[in-house]
Amino acid sequence: MAASPSIPTPELQLTTEKQTDQVVVHGTGRINASTADYLQSTIRLLIHQNKRVVLDLTGVEYIDSSGLGALVSIYLAAGRAECLLEVANPRPRVRDLFKLTKLAALFDTRTENYFGDF
C-alpha cells in the first residue's frame, strides 16, 4: 500500500501506512519540544483505531527529553487502549539514548523487518 502523508511540521514529518494487521508511522526529522505534541496527537488517533502501531524511527536523527516524554506518554496510552506500540529501526544514537535512559526494554525496539509476522 502507498504511504499517505500527514501534516508535516518543519522539524518532524510523519507518514502513515495502513497494512492488514497494523499501521506503520514513518518519522523523519527531530522529536523535540516543538514537535512532541504533533507526534502525540498523530499516534493517539491511531492507537484507538488499531491493535498494533509501529513507529519507524529510521529517519529520526534526534530525540530530546520532551520527545522521550512524548514517547512514554504514547506508550502508556497505547497500553490503556489495548494497542501494541512498537518502536522500530532507531538509529544508533537514538538506540543509545533509549539504553541510557533505561527505556530500551519499555519500547522493545526492533531493527528487523517489521512488515513480516512476529
Q: What angle do CA 47, 53, 56 make, to 5 degrees?
A: 135
Residue 107: the pLDDT is 76
Give the residue, 9 or 54, on which the prediction is more confident: 54
Helix/strand/coil (H, E, C) string of 45-62?
HHHCCCCEEEEEEEEEEE
Q: What's the length of the chain? A: 118
Q: What average pLDDT does range 99-112 have in this prediction? A: 77
Residue pLDDT, tens place only, 33-66: 999 999 999 999 999 999 999 999 999 999 999 9
What domains, with CATH codes, occur in the chain? 12-107 (3.30.750.24)
Cα 6 to Cα 24: distance, rounded to the nearest angstrom: 12
pTM of the predicted model as reported, rounded to 2 decimal places: 0.82
Q: What percent of the chain has pLDDT over 70?
A: 83
Q: Predicted confidence band at 110 (pLDDT cuts at 50, 70, 90)?
A: low
